[in-house]
Amino acid sequence: MILKLLSGDRPGSVLLSLILLAILVALAGAPFLFDGTRALDTAARICVFIVLVASYDLLLGYTGIVSFAHTIFFGFGAYGVALSALHLGRGFDALIVGAGAGALAAAALAAVIGLFSLRVRAIFFAMITLAVASAVAVLVSQLSALTGGEDGLTYLIPKALTAAARYGEIPTVTLPWPGADPLTLGGQRITGKIVNYYVIFSGALILILFLLRVVNSPFGRVLQAIRENDFRAEAIGYRVVSYRIAVTVLSAVVASLAGALFAIWLRYVGPDTVLSFEIMIDILLMVVIGGMGTIYGAVIGAVVLLLAQNYLKDLMETAAAGLGDIPLAADLLNPDRWLLWLGVLFVLSVYFFPAGIVGRLRRSRT
C-alpha cells in the first residue's frame, strides 16, 4: 500500500528510509511533540518549502531546465489567497477561489514564458526567467493599491483555523518510566492553529504524493530522457518543446499551491515573504543539498536548510557560551557569524555530497 502511494519509488537506502520516516513522524506530530509557536511555525514552513522545492526539482532535476522565476508562481498562489480573503471574506470558499485563481494565473504565465523562451538554450532561458522575475517583483511593489506594495497585505482567514477556535483538550496520560519519573503525555489544548497546521501538512503531503506519481509515470520518464539528451528524445519522436512547456506549467501550478498554503498559514503576504530573490536562492540550495532529480531530496534539503536557518544561531550561542574560556573558539562561534557557518556547511555538503544527501545515501545503501 505504501509503495503504491509512493508510485513504486523506493528510497533506495535503509538509512534514507529511516530519515524520511523520522521526518514524516516529526512533521505529523509537530503540534504535540515540540513546544512553542516557533517550532510549529518552523514545521509549517518546512511542509510548504518541501512542496515548493519539489516543484522546482521537477524542472531542474528531472528536466534540466534552469529557471529563476519560480518565486513568481509561489507569489501568485499567495497573493491569490490574500486578495480573495480581502474581497470575498474570511470563508473557506475565499481560500479555495484564491488558490484556484493563483494556480490559473501561474499556469498562464508559465505557458507564456515557455512559448517564448523554451526554444532557447540553457543560460539564455535562465536569464529570461530572471528578467521576468525581477519585473514582476517590481510591479507588485509598485501596485500598492492592489497588492499593498512593500507593506504587503494582511487579511483574515476562517476563524476555525485561528487560535481563537477551541476544539477541546487531549486527555493527560501518565506512563511509568523505569528508573525515572513517570512520563506524562497529552494535556494539550486543540485550537484552530493546530487545525490550520494540519491543513498545511495534509495539503503538502497530497502534493508530494502527486509529484511522486508524476515523476514515476511515463511522462516523468520522458522528462528524464530530455534531461539526459534532448536531441535523442526529439529524434525518437517526442516533441521536446511541448514536454518542456507542459512541465513548466505543472511545476508552476504546484508552486502556486504551495504559495496558497503559505498564505493560509502566515495570514500576511508581501514581496519579501514570497517574491524575493533570497527565496529563489534558498530553493536552489535546498535542491542541491538534498539531491537533484529526486523528490526525496527536496524533503531532506528543505528540512536541513530551514532547521539551520532557524536554529543554527541558537546552537552557536550555546556553544560560544560553553567555550567562553577559549577566546578564539568563542569568537568564531559568535552568533552574529551564523551566516558564515551556514555558508561553510553548504560548501562542505557540496564537497562531500556532490550528488546531494539522497544521492550519497543511495550509493552507500545497505
H or E element at residue 166: strand 166-169
Phi and psi dihedrals of 169, rounded to 5?
-145, 145
pTM strictly above 0.85: yes
Q: Measuring CA to CA, which residue among 192, 208, 171 is closest to residue 58?
A: 208
Query: Could you read off the pLDDT of 240-269 as tens digits, one per residue?
Result: 888 888 999 999 999 999 999 999 999 999
Residues 195-245 have pLDDT tens digits of 999 999 999 999 999 999 999 888 989 888 888 888 888 888 888 888 888
Q: Which domains does the chain show, CATH number per domain?
A: 2-363 (1.10.3470)
Name the DSSP letter for residue 181: P
User: Residue 175: what pLDDT?
Assistant: 67
> Taking phi first (over 0 means left), then psi (-120 to 50 degrees means alpha), and beta for anything else, what does residue 291 get?
left
pLDDT in tens, 167-195: 877 777 676 766 666 666 666 788 889 99
DSSP bridge partners of 154: 268
Per-block mean pLDDT, blocks of 10 residues, the chain (366 long): 58 85 92 86 95 94 87 94 91 93 94 75 79 88 87 90 81 68 68 92 95 90 86 85 90 96 94 90 90 90 90 76 67 73 79 80 68
DSSP-based three-state secondary structure for 160: helix
d(CA 262, CA 193): 14
Q: Residue 174: which H helix or E strand, with range? A: strand 173-175
Helix (H) or strand (E) holding 25: helix 14-28
212 and 295 Cβ atoms separated by less than 8 Å: yes
- Looking up cell 519522436 gives 237
CB-CB contact of 302 with 290 (8 Å): yes
> Cell numbers 512542496 label which residue?
51
What percentage of residues in the chain have a pLDDT greater than 90? 37
Residue with cell 482567514: 157
- Residues 6 or more apart in contact with residue 352 via CB below 8 angstroms: 360
Strand partners, 183: 175
What are residue 30's phi and psi, to 5 degrees? -55, -45
Amino acid in the structure at residue 86: L
Alpha-carbon distance of 26 to 282, in angstroms, equals 22
CA angle 127, 132, 136 (to 5 degrees): 150
